[in-house]
Amino acid sequence: MNIESKPQYAGPYGQLSPTGGGDIIPLVKDRILVGRRAESDIQLKFANVSGQHCRLTLEQGYWFIRDLNSRNGIKVDGHPVIRKRLDPNCKVSIARHHFTIEYEPQLLGAYGPPPADDDYLDDLLKSSLMDRAGMSRRDPKSPYSNRNPSE
């Protein structure tokens, strides 16, 4: 008889594992404040970590991270982000402290496709409204270049 064993994590919602070694941080709530201050759920006592650095929230079985206007920011898989879905085993950097987030979305209530990530918003906001509408900008040196000369 083949019985699937569920993975063991330090907390009921998974864990953050420091990539350079150190103590595993259990995820014990579905909403976690990370920062340097004593009232933080996860306290990182480093000078480059802001008092309230970021927030982790569990949404539809997936962890999301949001920067709380921190001084040194957050990165997911090496890319700076404001808000991002954290897929299992991705790399999370809080200031210059690196972790791997470990959890099983299905055990936390996920079903179907993952909730939308916010990366597309960054790409969307980098382009102009005219470009998004499919209307390219005119070259200022030849303002009539896209007009039909027979008009």
Residue 36 lies in a domain: yes
Residue 5 lies in a domain: no
pTM of the model: 0.76
Mean pLDDT of the chain: 85
pLDDT digits over 10-68, tens only?
999 999 999 988 999 999 999 999 999 999 999 999 999 999 999 999 999 999 999 99
How much is the pLDDT for 1? 45
For range 87-115, the mean pLDDT: 95
Task: Report whether pLDDT(150) > 60.
Answer: no
Residue 144 lies in a domain: no
Task: Report whether pLDDT(123) > 60.
Answer: no
Q: Work out the percent of the chain whose per-residue pLDDT is above 90.
A: 66
**Contacting residues for 71 by C-beta, under 8 A, at least 6 apart:** 48, 50, 95
Band (pLDDT 50/70/90 cuts) for residue 96 is very high
Number of domains composing the chain: 1
Strand partners, 85: 64
How much is the pLDDT for 70? 95
For β-strands 42-43 and 31-35, DSSP reports them as: parallel
Domain with 80 in it: 14-133
For range 72-88, the mean pLDDT: 95
CATH number of the domain that residue 126 is part of? 2.60.200.20
